[in-house]
Amino acid sequence: MVLLARGYRRTRVKLLFWSALCFVGLALNNLFLTLDTIVFPDINLMPLRRLPTGAALVVLLFGFIWEVD
């Protein structure tokens, strides 16, 4: 995620920006997964875990579609 953001800052290639945003969403999913399985094992956080994953995929799909050269 950090390398994609640094690459975008250096080159201003929009696909790197959309990919970095996607990885932010996937990292949020991993955070919620950790919270779900380790911190709160008796609470089901599955709906909360699906939101950042879906948003990340939508962002990446948006980037793929609208940044075609």
Written as six digits, the tokens of 10 are 């250096």
| pLDDT value, residue 32 | 94
| Closest by CA position to 67, among listed 22, 28, 14, 4 | 14
Q: How many domains does the chain have?
A: 1
Residue 62: pLDDT band with limits 50, 70, 90? very high
Percent of the chain with pLDDT over 70: 99
Q: What is the pTM of this model?
A: 0.85
Residue 69 pLDDT greater than 70, yes or no: no
- Give the structural domain span for 58: 2-66
Asked if 64 contacts 31 with a C-beta cutoff of 8 angstroms, the reply is no
